[in-house]
Amino acid sequence: ALNDYERLDSSRKYDPLQQHISTDDDDPLKKKESEKLVTFIEHFNDLFDFAQYEAAAIHAATSPMAILRTPQAMQKFKEVEIFEGSKSPLFLYCEALMTTSVVDSETFKLLPSMSLECISCALKESGINLAIHWLNQPCIVSSIPLANFLVDSCQCVRNCCCKCQALAEGIYRKFEAHQQVANTLARQGKYRAVIEYGRTNGGFKIADYKAILESNPTIFYAIMLLQSNLNSRRTECGISFCCIINILLTNNEEVLISFLEQIASTGVYDSKRIKHSISDLIFQEKSSDKMTTEKWKRVMDLCCSNDRSEIAMEILSTLLVRQALNHASISSSMDYIS
For residue 13, pLDDT beyond 70: no
**CA 12 from chain center: how many Å?**
38
Q: How far apart are CA 273 and CA 269, in angstroms?
A: 5
Question: 264-281 pLDDT, tens per residue?
Answer: 999 999 888 999 999 999
Backbone angles phi, psi at 308, to 5 degrees: -125, 50
Across the range 36-45, mean pLDDT stands at 89
Across the range 220-243, mean pLDDT stands at 84
Across the range 70-76, mean pLDDT stands at 93
Q: How far apart are CA 45 and CA 56, in angstroms?
A: 8
pLDDT at 237: 67
**Is the CB of residue 83 less than 8 Å from the CB of residue 90?**
no
pLDDT at 74: 95
For residue 235, pLDDT beyond 70: no
For residue 20, pLDDT beyond 60: no
pTM for the whole thing? Answer: 0.79
**Is the CB of residue 230 less than 8 Å from the CB of residue 200?**
no
